[in-house]
Structure 1
Amino acid sequence: MPETFTTADPPTADEPLLRWLTQASGDAGLHVATPTSGWNYTSYRDLAVRVKVFAAGLQAQDLRHGDVVTLMVSESEQFVVSFFGCLLAGVTPSTVMPRGLFRKADGYISHVSGILTAADPALVVAGEESQAYAEEAVKVSGLPSPVVTFTAVRESGAQGPPVRVPDDRPPGRTALLQFTSGSSGDPKGVRVSWGALTANVGAIRDWLGLTPQDRFAGWLPLFHDMGLIGQMLTSITSGVDTWILSPEQFIRNPGRWVECFGKYGATITTSPSFGYSYAARRVSPDDLAGYDFSRWRIAILGAERIDPVGVNDFTRLAAPFGFDPHALVGAYGLAEATLAVTGARPADGSPLATAHSTVVEPGSPVGARRDGLLGRDRGTGEHLVGCGRPLSGLVVRVLDDEGAEVPDGALGEITISGTSLADGYVLGDRRRIDFDPAGHRTGDAGFLLDGDLFVVGRIGDGIKVRGAMVFAEDLEAELERVSGTRAGQVAVLLGRSGGCDRAVVLIESSSPERWNDRIGTIVSTVRARTSPEFDCPVYAGRSGAIARTSSGKPRRRVLWRDYLAGGLTDWQLATQEGRS
């Protein structure tokens, strides 16, 4: 076998995920952003040595194969080393959101202790910055799990015998316990088998057509599926150069992300739609002087509803420097499918579509037609973006309420099956729920159009009006348009309480009083899309007040429960419009 992948010998779909540790190259590696403007580089050959030392340190903890090890590590290289160290040592990593990404300090310990209760780890590994949080969360959970620091494990491995690599890893054994981003607020661990993890990474490689000439750059948090599998696992196990920023570094200066493509020749990234529109607002054409984006061949968009207006702003910024909008690749995925489910074909671009109405009964046509190309055409907030076709080994069907498959262009629930489907959940009370291998109903609504998947919204974040579903995401897109807010500053909570259908509108603003003259427009827009009978209170809050999941989606169900309990303490009632 060659020491590293060559152009004639790229990684294949069934490439074992740990083979890179024995074939690691000194010519490619991991670039981690420093706190200032530089990058710390570690070749994959050196990184592999550190992984093996850490794995030996884990084995010195007297763990059994398959034991869960919770990782509370925020520094990027330490995270990479500890995660791959768990896989190599034969234990099951379970990753936790760093404190810095959790919005409310007083809720972090409760959040972590809930995850620990569900995961029941044999060991908790914490970075020095997280040790106190880890110890407190273990105490609250009542578990006997010991807490050790990353440094202690590493030093133990350096002083002890070499790692003992397990003889085999049965495809059905759990490789990863991946907690979903938590829109409901309840801890829910997804059991991802070795077979599913290997299959999904292989499917992503095939979809993207990865070659050794590719270079990956991203800013997503590494503990969650899109950053963990799409950004870290796929790139490192494929042996391609990888640049990683933290989310905080990206927010402070998105130009560092853009620099990876214009200056260092990165070719692939993945980001929510927000990342592109945010970079368009914060980076100026003058900042791009001398950059060349002509090698940037894939820019994946996922994790949230894609905003074609904001993406077009990014294209207008980057196109004069060689960026091709055909590089923009819409995708759909979820932790229950390990990560990726569908994706637009690279170089084809992602289609825009308009629908006559998504407020229809499941199984009814939405009247959709193709209407442009993402990035090239500006579109509106009402446009839906195609998320492509199923990746290899996966099957996507759209079903009505009775479980029957609906025709092309008809609305229904997205259901997935195939080689990347996870085994099931572990819940907060440690109950295990197995997925139906014949098809897992995702709770997402969408439709297929000429083979491409279009995602409308979460079924749990909608309400039926006269037999038809109305989705919060549709209302949010419309309210952003009529109120002049940026994407992500509006959340709509839909539900029924006190015998009344309600649409609670939350708007982030530094000046709540500025919304007073727009309340009538906001309320009339909501009622036009729902019913004149809807109660529609409008609240304003500070920037960042909308509670979000780790992937940036509004935690609508958590916010709805807070509303019912009178717990919207971070919000000011802008005005209350009663029922007509």
Structure 2
Amino acid sequence: MQIKGVHTFEKENNMTNDGNTKIHKNIGSVVQILNFRAQHTPDKTAYGMLDAEFNLSEITYSELFLRVSALSSSLSALKIAEGNRCILMFHQGIDFIVSFLACNRIGAVPVPINMPGRNKSLAKWENISMNSQARCIITDKTGVFSLKDMLKNSETLSALPVYSEQEDVSAETISGFNELAFLQYTSGSTGDPKGVMVTHSALMNNLKQIKDKFRFHEDSVMVSWLPFYHDMGLILGILQGIYSGYKVILMNPADFMQQPMNWMKAISAYGATHTTAPNFAYELAADKLEKLTHAELVSISLKSLERAICGAEPVNMNTLLKFNKTAQHFGLREHTLSPGYGLAEASLVVSAYKPGQKAGWLKLNRTDLQSGSIFVIDKGYLGFSQQMTNEAAIGETYLVGNGFVVDEHQLSIRNPEDGTELSEQAIGEICFAGPSVTKGYWNRPEETKNTFPADEETGQVYLRTGDLGFKDTNGELYITGRIKDLIIIRGMNYYPQDIERTAFNAGPDLRVDGAAAFSVQQEGEEKLILIQEVNRSAVRNPQCDKWAKKIREDVLKVHDIPVEIIVFIPPMHIPRTTSGKIQRNKAKLMYLNCEWSKIVGISSLEQIRNSFNVSSEKIDSREALAEFIAGLVARQLAIPTAEIDQNIPFAELGINSMMSLSIRNSLEQAMGFTVPAASLFNYNTVQQMSEHLFSLCNISFNKPVQAKKAADHTVFAQSEFDNCSEDELFELLKKELGETDDAY
């Protein structure tokens, strides 16, 4: 089959020894590989997109190429030229892939970012638009008008033209080339966006290394639900499929959060050989697999999996062991789990394990590690026989290996102060050199110079990752922390200064520039912790409930993340440098070790949620059901039920995907039947949901339920700690935090 517009590349030695199609060495971009595959395997499925009801929409290489060609022709006619930056704002779907590749085909530079939510601050999108000097916005063909309406209040964004695919556009042979494949903006910063300049050469090399590391081939099948605008979702979840020539089954992240088992079902149904996800997803999957009924057990098989890649956030050893223990009953092979390390500035992958290599772990002395040295107590591999670790054990901690550096690259550990290389098992800054290293940050020459310096002896440019770690004696990489205090939760990056700014601006009693935000690991997941100073007058009249409520509301609204614990302290008690900068890492250690000398009060989200107990009062009307649902929403938001407006959409109230999953699970337990995955989106207010669910219910509940009103949670008044000794204060803090100092 010859497709119009596809360049026929040289065909000598088109097949390798393993039966895979050999790509001509002169091909220099993913869109050129698409041309090649549309010519040689036109009818092979490139992507399949699963919807919430598990229906699959597929597109072949030839169909994908024709759509890319048509859109690139349209964009060219609209005067989108080589080098123009095009913001891609899409709901998860194949339309995004078409637009990304169409930009590449004419030499425009795609800038993938997430779709903004209604009634959310547009500061991040405005700053990215200004920093990238965007020429236009491209979106779903069915969403142009709704997106324009969403952006109408932004002078910056509303000034940009919004384009999409058009019907019946002829595909012309139009091509262009720009050195940049795309700009990858870091996912967390709202006020200071940095766009990583990923070149085609760096991207192509990293795709080559990923193919070799994970043994991808044309018969592989990838299942991914990761966001397309995330570097791992884009490169490993989408572009690697075209590069290696295999089928990719894609899911919507929201559908995964609503139904984590659909991830496992997709792996089983489509015989996936590879999948990838952050640590928290394996924790969710393990929990769900444990709870399957006997009838459901037969519907899941993980025998086909060759690599289950875990990255994008800190990896927890017990999470992987828990998943191993549960998933082996569903056919998961030993050593399939593969932790890895990477970042956007390296294109993506820096280190990982090849099939056959076992992921290692180390048991270290906690005190030595906190002081910057390594003392190995024990070591082993993440096999089925490995027992769960005691994370509360005093004096010891566990680290999971992150693999070995990819081929053709160099991994060094350097002193963050002077750049000198350190020996094995010495903690320093992780540095990475080789052809996958990106070009730097768009329009940020000074930051590019600092992050991508040249080695003084060899002159080779290397990447300063900003992460701390060490290499074991066998060259295996272990991560110990982050120099720049970046917070990573559920695979997303959050900058602490942005969260802190939102927090201390939440009320006049809160001290400006007197906050420290960081994350700690609890139950296999990173949780956000905030230390907030209050003004002197507020110390004498503490209102911790009021302050915590407003902080949580504002942080959730702006950053879409809940604050797990807020510790209120007197002014000037947060550790600072001599120049006045907040020492977040020291504040975190003080929190973990209960070292605060004065505490005004503590607000724990878990305690507030636990105060919403379930009673035995009967739900016998639609109104009673609405009150119950309002109570579930209130529990997630940690506010009184009376403050829930039953006619405001859940998203506008502040309910995110993880909260929706919890609400849905509680509804199913209370009502005794399965609540459809799309319900919280289709019936998105308390009133709509109660009407819908009550109409489905024609039976009596065995255990009718109703939410209780939240009780006030404990805080420490000034009079309670004025006469306490330090030891007594430590014990009070431990009790209030539920022994969270043992989280590490």
* TM band (smaller chain): 0.7 to 0.9
User: Which residue of the partner structure matches residue 563 of structure 1?
Assistant: none
Equivalent in 112, 126, 130 of residue 95 of structure 1: 112
* More off after superposition, 490-499 vs 122-131: 490-499
- Does 1:278 find its partner at 2:287? no
Distance in 2 separating the partners of 1:497 and 1:426 = 38
- Counterparts in 2 of 1:574 and 1:441: CA distance versus 1, 3 Å: farther
Q: CA deviation at 1:114?
A: 1.3
Q: Which position in structure 2 is the counterpart of 1:532?
A: 595
> Which blocks of at least 5 consecutive residues in structure 1 are unaligned?
464-470, 481-485, 500-504, 516-524, 553-571
Question: Which residues in structure 2 correspond to 1:7-406 (within 5 Å)?
Answer: 7-10=18-21, 16=28, 17=30, 18-24=32-38, 25=41, 26-99=43-116, 105-127=118-140, 128-129=142-143, 131-133=145-147, 137=151, 140=154, 142=156, 146-151=160-165, 154-155=166-167, 158-160=168-170, 162-166=172-176, 169=177, 173-182=179-188, 185-283=191-289, 284-285=291-292, 286=294, 287-357=296-366, 360=369, 364-367=373-376, 369-373=378-382, 376-377=385-386, 378-381=388-391, 382-400=397-415, 401-406=417-422
User: Which amino acid letter does the alignment assign opposite residue 316 of structure 2?
Assistant: D
1:448 aligns with 2:471: yes
Question: How far apart are 1:445 and its partner, in Å?
Answer: 1.1
For 2:14 and 2:321, locate their aligned partners in 1 and report how far apart those are by CA, in whole Å.
Answer: 38
- The verdict on how the C-alpha distance between 1:143 and 1:209 changes in structure 2, with shifts beyond 3 A counting, is same
Shift of 1:209: 1.6
Give the 3 Å change call, closer, same or farther, for CA 237–576 of structure 1 in structure 2.
Answer: farther
Are the equivalent residues in 2 in contact too, given 1:416–1:440 (CA < 8 A)?
A: yes
1:384 Cα offset (Å): 1.2
Counterpart in 1 of 2:432? 416
Q: Match of 1:491, SS?
A: strand
Q: Are the structure 2 counterparts of residues 423 and 369 from structure 1 closer, same or farther at C-alpha, using a change threshold of 3 Å?
A: farther
CA gap 1:453/1:61 in 2 versus in 1, 3 angstroms:
same
Aligned to 1:518: none
Answer yes or no: is the 8 Å Cα contact 2:339–2:403 preserved in 1.
Answer: yes
Q: Which residue, out of 435, 457, 481, partners 1:457?
A: 481
Aligned: 1:476 with 2:520: yes
Tell me the secondary structure at the aligned position of residue 20 of structure 1. helix
SS of the equivalent of 1:19 reads helix
Contact 1:393 1:420 in 2 (8 A): no
- 1:318 match: secondary structure: helix
CA-to-aligned-CA distance 1:427-481 (integer Å, 9 cap, x gap): 6x89873432522221111111121111122222299xxxxxxx998x823xx2x
- Following superposition, the deviation at residue 346 of structure 1 comes to 2.1
Q: Which amino acid aligns with 1:115?
A: I
Distance 1:275 1:358, change over 3 A: farther
* Cα separation, partners in 2 of 1:260 and 1:380, compared to 1, 3 Å: farther
Deviation at 1:75, TM superposition (A): 3.5
Identity %: 25
Distance 1:318 1:3, change over 3 A: farther
Deviation at 1:211, TM superposition (A): 1.4
- Would you say how many aligned residue pairs link Structure 1 and Structure 2? 517
- What is the distance in 2 between the residues matched to 1:494 and 1:77? 43
Amino acid aligned to 1:338 = S
Q: 2:122 aligns to what SS in structure 1?
A: helix
Q: CA deviation at 1:190?
A: 0.6
Residue in structure 1 matched with residue 493 of structure 2 by the alignment: none
Distance 1:492 1:46, change over 3 A: same
Offset at residue 23 of structure 1 (A): 2.1
**What is the correspondence of 1:462-541 to structure 2 with a 5 Å cutoff?**
476-477=520-521, 480=522, 486-488=523-525, 490-493=527-530, 527=590, 529-530=592-593, 532-533=595-596, 538-541=602-605
- Tell me the CA shift for residue 56 of structure 1: 1.3
CA distance in 2, matches of 1:493, 1:306: 22
CA distance in 2, matches of 1:46, 1:195: 26
* RMSD across aligned positions (CA): 4.0
Residue 344 of structure 1 aligns with an amino acid whose one-letter code is Y
The alpha carbon displacement at 1:354 in A equals 1.6
Call closer, same or farther: CA 1:161–1:297 in 2, change over 3 Å.
closer
Change (3 A) 1:90 1:205: same
Letter in 2 for 1:436: P
Asked whether the 8 Å contact 1:131–1:147 carries over to 2, the reply is no
Post-superposition offset of 1:271: 0.5
Q: Take 1:213 and 1:436, find their aligned partners in 2: how far apart are those partners?
A: 40
Larger Rg: 2
Query: Structure 1: which amino acid aligns with 2:715?
Result: T
1:337 and 1:512, CA in 2 relative to 1: closer, same or farther beyond 3 A?
closer
Contact 2:258 2:657 in 1 (8 A): no
Letter in 2 for 1:575: V
Distance 1:267 1:498 in 2: 56
Counterpart-to-counterpart distance in 1, 2:24 and 2:121? 38
Change (3 A) 1:253 1:60: same
Amino acid of the structure 2 residue aligned with 1:460: K
1:175-203 per-residue CA deviation (whole Å, 9 max, x = no partner) reads: 11110112575211111111111111111
State whether residues 386 and 453 of structure 1, in contact with CA within 8 Å, keep that contact through their aligned partners in structure 2: yes
Are the aligned partners of 1:366 and 1:411 in contact in 2 as well (CA < 8 Å)?
Answer: no
Pairwise CA distance, 1:318:
1.9
Alpha-carbon distance between aligned partners in 1 of 2:279 and 2:423, rounded to the nearest angstrom? 29
Alignment gaps of 5+ in structure 2 = 1-10, 392-396, 455-460, 488-515, 537-547, 568-587, 606-634, 639-653, 659-711, 727-744
Instruction: Mark the CA change 1:396 to 1:431 in structure 2 (over 3 Å): closer, same or farther.
Output: closer
Q: Pick closer, same or farther for the CA change 1:498–1:259 going to 2, 3 Å.
A: same
Distance apart, 1:411 and its partner CA: 1.3
SS at match of 2:198: strand
Q: Which has the higher mean CA deviation after the structures are superposed, 179-188 or 297-306?
A: 179-188
Structure-2 change in CA distance of 1:390 and 1:430 (3 Å): closer
Cα deviation, residue 136, structure 1? 5.7
Give the match for residue 569 of structure 1: none
Shift of the 23–112 alpha-carbon distance from structure 1 to 2, 3 Å rule, reads: same
TM-score (norm: length of structure 2): 0.62
* Equivalent-residue separation in structure 2 for 1:436 and 1:66 (angstroms): 26
